[in-house]
Structure 1
């Protein structure tokens, strides 16, 4: 029995294949993860809130629910979008998804046809790119710098390619670079996309994990034409195992997402949705987020200071103000994937940067994660990695 053409386009995750290489050696200090710190999950409050939810709404929690999402959760998320992001959101703008990855997959399903073009930042989150691959589209990358997406490059790509249908961007503490777009760059971006018949996916899983600087308005708050599809998530501010995330979009788009949900999985996990409602309504979620911010800042600052002290001067890296990642650029000619096995043998691991590009990417780059390692592991691992880089850089 033959599989569909779409399956020929689905590629295995290069990142997970790297992690298999890492897992083959015991005791490796891994900066390769893309996970939140499980020690920061609010376990006691989650236990209490879950039992309280079962007492109050147990029968509802174990029953089928609405495809669009639990009504209480829709209201909670709409109010959060208003309060935290400055978006004039109502429940009719919100659809609950099983993680942001489902939001990416449904957006690709909703908007892409054979031959369309998807534009992503160079580099970008591979999961966003892979969600689009089954639909026969091609990909173009737009350069980024320390302020965000490069507007002149974006203008050129859109002007030269009328088949661009979808833009995928992560303006806040991007995976993999950790960079956040400036306010001016966001305004310029919206001015450009308003002149073209395109849809923008604003993926914002890290936006609330800002531990330095001032909050910058999201693209959706500047959207006057209904072009921006905002993806939010509880995975980084609560815990990823709940798989509770959401789409915020124009009502006409939200209706279509709801129709897709009906055909895909009927609904998200009602139990998990009500867990989130109970926790967000009756527990200190903002205080919990502040704990995450403080913990990540401490680890990020430590890693950066050790990199400055130990890495060769020819190695450059970002200095994020939030999120979970640091992007490292090696001298031209070096292959981060080529020296990964040597690093693993030395006892430290990372994700090579070339895997974060839709097409061919920079081989002389790597992504480091600081959230799932202890301070002791950071101190030891960065020195080990520096010793490897000194042999090559």
Structure 2
């Protein structure tokens, strides 16, 4: 008998440890600390009453028993139909997933082979890069501008010989920058994908969180192209604890992606699918999401006002139009690693800009500040604590 652990697979042994974003060892949340780094929705803005009514109706219905059995791998037909109606596509293009991360993993495993090249947003959602660790690919960053990933830069590089197998972008209220890919750039991006033969993986979890007066592109070009795999989740509107999302893919991909899914987790909870299907049919839901978006807009205004009051001309930040985050840059030649630690010493934490660089050490001086879950009072206090750390480090105190 031996005490040694099993020998890990090459995949398991080769997975790098988390560094930067998502590395809990870097975050110090002492009692009383204010966390401006998270991506949770505010519990008080979630549709809790609609949840309770839906759970009660599902568990008391005659169809509850069968929901405890295995369910179809693509998802319950009634939920796929409900999602398809909202997406404006046929139900055979919908695959229900266990959240957005699961959808991204399916998209990556369905699209890429070891050694392939993928273009990604820069700054990028860092956890997507960790999904790529499952395959082992090369990453080509393309800058994100005021209206999304820089399609003009991408076109220049494609003409110069860049040949990606896929492209990843967060098109609406991009994480972390908050910008939105315009309809014109979306159509141009699809045109490039069809000309050069790459697949677009469009991760769109914040699309429903548009602030009052903000119009979001309907993503028609994405919807109508077989070159696009659209990934989405209910995590931002119904809560990440639900672990329910979906992908929209070309109808021809549905069966092979289902085969892949059958070799991984097999299915999503039938009970949760039935609950969400009932919630989607509840006439109160859209109004609830709109009210939540209004609440997030107020929080964003509080955060932006506090940043401008405390930092003045030393901060560069655009007003968010939706989503959960502000992307702020503090000007000056500072040790921003030291600022991060000094801020935590004063009881506030956030996500450092360098952690969102797709390659290298870009975005020095940037910070992703989350306003979604934190109270308005704590948003102001959190920025005040950050500013005190900055003033002391910059010799402005």
**TM-score category, normalised to shorter length:** over 0.9
* Structure 1 residues 163 and 76, CA gap change in structure 2 (3 angstroms): same
TM-score, length basis structure 1: 0.93
Corresponding position: 1:46 with 2:51 = yes
Pairs within 5 Å for 1:142-157: 142-157=142-157
Q: Give the superposition deviation at 1:332.
A: 5.6
SS of structure 1 residue aligned to 2:247: strand
User: CA shift at 1:131, angstroms?
Assistant: 0.8
2:27 to 6, 9, 22: 22
Partner of 1:78: 84
| 8 Å contact from structure 1 (residues 36, 372) kept in 2 | yes
Residues 365 and 161 of structure 1: CA distance in aligned 2, closer, same or farther (over 3 Å): farther
Residue 205 of structure 1 pairs with residue 210 of structure 2: no
Structure 2 vs 1, CA of residues 332 and 383 (structure 1 numbering), >3 Å: closer, same or farther? closer
Bigger mean CA deviation after superposition, 132-141 or 324-333: 324-333
- What CA distance in whole angstroms lies between the structure 1 residues aligned with 2:272 and 2:71? 12
Instruction: Measure the CA separation in 2 of the matches of 1:356 and 1:69.
Output: 33
> 2:74 is matched with which residue?
68
Indicate yes or no: 2:377 matched with 1:372.
no
**1:226-276 deviation line (CA, Å, top 9, x unaligned):** 111111211111122111100011111122221111111110111110110
**Equivalent of residue 10 in structure 1, options 11, 15, 34:** 15
Answer whether contact 2:163 2:196 (CA < 8 A) is retained: no
SS in 2 for 1:264: coil
Corresponding residue for 2:3?
none
Distance 2:277 2:28 in 1: 37
Give the distance between the partners of 1:364 and 1:158, measured in 2 at CA.
31
Alignment-derived partner of residue 340 in structure 1: 340
Q: Distance in 2 between matches of 1:256 and 1:337?
A: 46
Partner of residue 135, structure 1 = 135
Instruction: Measure, in 2, the Cα distance between the counterparts of 1:9 and 1:213.
Output: 47
8 Å contact 2:210–2:216 — kept in the other structure?
A: no
What is the match of residue 358 of structure 1?
Answer: 358
Kept in 1, the 8 Å contact 2:167–2:200? The answer is yes
| Offset of residue 283 of structure 1 | 4.6
1:119 to partner: Cα distance? 1.0
- CA distance, structure 2, for counterparts of residue 143 and residue 16 of structure 1: 22
Give the whole-Å Cα distance in 2 for the aligned partners of 1:125 and 1:302: 25
TM-aligned CA distance change 1:217 to 1:289, over 3 Å: same
CA distance in 1 between counterparts of 2:274 and 2:170 reads 28
Q: Match of 1:316?
A: 316
Post-superposition CA distance 1:154-208 (Å, at most 9, x none) = 1233344554111110110111111112233223322322221100011110001
Partner-residue secondary structure (3-state), 1:135: coil
Pair 1:35-2:40 in alignment: yes
Distance in 2, matches of 1:160 and 1:133, equals 27
**1:17-57 deviation per Cα after TM superposition (whole angstroms, max 9, x unaligned):** 2x444345221111011111112222222112101111112
CA distance in 2, matches of 1:102, 1:133: 14
Deviation at 1:316, TM superposition (A): 0.9
Contact 1:330–1:365, Cα closer than 8 Å, also in 2: yes
In 1, Cα distance between equivalents of 2:382 and 2:336: 16
2:175 is equivalent to residue 170 of structure 1: no
Superposed, which structure 2 residues align to 1:225-240 within 5 Å? 225-240=225-240
Task: Tell me the equivalent position of 2:272.
Answer: 272
Quote the offset at 1:224 in angstroms: 4.3
1:9 and 1:134 in contact (8 A); partners too:
no
Q: Note the aligned Cα RMSD (angstroms).
A: 1.8
* Partners of 1:67 and 1:261 within 8 A in 2: yes
- Which structure 1 segments of 5+ residues have no match? 83-88
Q: Pick which of 252-261 and 67-76 moved more.
A: 252-261
Structure 1 residues 355-385: Cα deviation after superposition (integer angstroms, max 9, x where no partner): 1122213222111000111111012111111
d(CA) in 2 for partners of 1:370, 1:24: 17
| Structure 2 SS opposite 1:254 | helix
Pairing 1:70-149 to 2, within 5 Å after superposition: 70-82=76-88, 89-149=89-149
